[in-house]
Amino acid sequence: MGKVRFGISIPEDLGRELDELAEKTNVSRSELVEQAIRNMLNDYIHYLVPHECEGVMVAVCPSDRGSEAVIEG
């Protein structure tokens, strides 16, 4: 797949953080920015497109009887 080149301006501190992360992870700035944009777009698409989600709910019960009390109701 081809690439599109464009320029952006970001705050200096954000640029420094990006450079530090690129150096620590041995990943180029371009790859990090690409991953960040892809993640952001996926998040936006997730919330903008009507759909049903499945998930897991975790409950913590401080009961002395333990999880059996929660399961039994």
pLDDT cut 70: percent of the chain above it: 85
Indicate the Cα dihedral angle 59, 46, 34, 37, nearest 10°.
-100
Q: What pLDDT, on the 0 to 100 scale, is given for residue 22?
A: 98
Say what the pTM is: 0.64
pLDDT of residue 35: 97
Residue 65 pLDDT > 70, yes or no? no
Dihedral, CA atoms, 26, 24, 42, 40, nearest 10 degrees? -130
User: pLDDT per residue over 29-64, tens digit each?
Assistant: 999 999 999 999 999 998 898 889 899 998 777 766
